[in-house]
Chains A and B, each alone.
Chain A
């Protein structure tokens, strides 16, 4: 009986130790996410507008279809304008094929875009190099779930970096 109890208790102690170590590691990992302003050579030079903005929402499903290319329009709250002029506090930005990480999104149709953002998530903060209006810079399908709701110009995202506060 004693032997049996020992047999059961030993792995339990190991499990608790493993969970504790994982918690410590994940805590360290989150602590190691240093603040990042999203500044790099591209975001500060591409396009005529540069902003830091919070992604308020992603309306509609992001389509991940290798056969068709889309720009998906997303709503942002402006936090800071670094270059150029932005008239409103809320802007609409078209991101090309947003299912793709920005680092690998450039292709034959759209060559000069990128950034370090991997995934679009509402409430995240992005530093972006932009142009406006989108139609002057991009000729392709656009998913705009704000059609009829907003007449504001749609910005075109050239470079998108994640900002960590």
Chain B
């Protein structure tokens, strides 16, 4: 291929990518001119901040802060040599933890908690503290007091006192293998487990006893807690979906006993991941990508924000999905910028402007 051909190829590829990005953003969750969306945006605009990972102008992954209506976006890492992802506010929102890998590497949607280094920083991205070596403190999750983290490796679950780096407790994994998250009340862990007859079961473990129970079996992942520690939000791909052998992944919620699970948001044509419930349990954030596992390996996907009182909501035409769910509320979904694994705090963050 000569230079002229190469240039044409690069330009054409760029145009195709930009067109597809714009198209995907437009069709996500239907019509963004729905007047109800403006009302929702106004309702949430002052409710704290969202931290998320996204591609920067340099092409690497950085961490960003924005208001829940998508305004006041600010890059808080600006590190061209590194990719950052998986940010989580501490319970008091004064600090964040995240993982950092070299800019040339990609995050993997199922390995991200084991990749690169664990980093702590102030919630505006300053005062970074690289905590341990690459591959250490895997699947780290804040404890309720912000002074400990829970981690998980093949050898088990362990609890680390941050100030001293001492391991202060251990538990068997009981089949848990990824996306470990400590409950707000400090009594439980949730994660994805393979020990309940099928792989990819969202499960809960009691820290005091190590006893574990399935919350939602088969093809589930990315669980996170409601603030009441009695419910989980997670992604679930039901089997045998019409006209789609693989199926679309939807956002669901369930009580922690696994007695009742409910679809929160689904859209034929979107895989919905990254569910994160607002601190008061009134709203939920998520991402909706058209390609399975496309968030981490691509450029993230449009984030969406909806009221949990509008559960269940189905986006777009989604004929097959609507057949299954009958009457749905179909509330407004505020489409936010492309991102990956967002996390929401109602704190004003003080320094964030």
Which residues of A approach B to under 8 Å, CB–CB? 67-70, 108-109, 135-144, 147-148
* A139 and B199 in contact, given A68-B110, A144-B194 (Cβ under 8 angstroms): no
Q: Are A67 and B175 in contact (CB under 8 A)?
A: no
**Alpha-carbon distance between A138 and B196 when the two chains are bound, in angstroms:** 17
- Contact residues in B for A144 (Cβ distance below 8 Å): 194, 197, 199
| B200 lies within 8 A of chain A by Cβ | yes
Q: Are B108 and A142 in contact (CB under 8 A)?
A: no
- Closest 7 A/B residue pairs (Cβ): A141-B199, A142-B194, A147-B197, A139-B154, A67-B293, A139-B177, A140-B177
> Chain B: which residue is nearest A94 at the CB level?
B194
Most buried by B among A67, A70, A138, A139: A139
Q: Are A137 and B111 in contact (CB under 8 A)?
A: no
Q: Are A70 and B199 in contact (CB under 8 A)?
A: yes
Map CB proximity to A onto B30-61 as digits: 1 under 8 Å, 0 otherwise: 00000000000000000000000000000000
Q: Are A135 and B110 in contact (CB under 8 A)?
A: no
- Contact residues in B for A109 (Cβ distance below 8 Å): 111, 114
> Chain B: which residue is nearest A147 at the CB level?
B197
Query: Can you name 16 A-B residue pairings with CB atoms under 8 Å?
Result: A67-B109, A67-B292, A67-B293, A68-B110, A108-B111, A135-B173, A136-B154, A138-B154, A139-B177, A140-B177, A140-B194, A141-B200, A142-B195, A143-B199, A144-B199, A148-B197
Q: Are B152 and A139 in contact (CB under 8 A)?
A: yes
> Chain A: which residue is nearest B246 at the CB level?
A65
| B178 lies within 8 A of chain A by Cβ | yes
Least Cβ–Cβ distance between A58 and chain B, in angstroms = 16
> Chain A: which residue is nearest B115 at the CB level?
A108
Q: Are A135 and B111 in contact (CB under 8 A)?
A: no
* A136 and B110 in contact, given A141-B199, A142-B199, A143-B199 (Cβ under 8 angstroms): no
Most buried by A among B111, B114, B178, B199: B199
* A137 and B197 in contact, given A68-B110, A108-B108 (Cβ under 8 angstroms): no
| B311 lies within 8 A of chain A by Cβ | no
Number of interface residues of B (CB under 8 A): 23
**Alpha-carbon distance between A136 and B175 when the two chains are bound, in angstroms:** 10
> Chain B: which residue is nearest A108 at the CB level?
B111
| B6 lies within 8 A of chain A by Cβ | no
Partner of B178, one of A67, A137, A139, A143: A139
Least Cβ–Cβ distance between B281 and chain A, in angstroms = 30
**Alpha-carbon distance between A69 and B197 when the two chains are bound, in angstroms:** 17
Q: Are B175 and A135 in contact (CB under 8 A)?
A: yes
> Chain B: which residue is nearest A142 at the CB level?
B194
- Contact residues in B for A70 (Cβ distance below 8 Å): 199
Q: Are A139 and B153 in contact (CB under 8 A)?
A: yes
- Contact residues in B for A141 (Cβ distance below 8 Å): 177, 194, 199-200
Least Cβ–Cβ distance between B328 and chain A, in angstroms = 29
- Contact residues in A for B329 (Cβ distance below 8 Å): none
Least Cβ–Cβ distance between A74 and chain B, in angstroms = 15
Partner of A137, one of B154, B292, B293: B154
Interface positions of B from 89 to 137, Cβ below 8 Å from A? 108-111, 114-115
- Contact residues in B for A69 (Cβ distance below 8 Å): 110
> Chain B: which residue is nearest A70 at the CB level?
B199
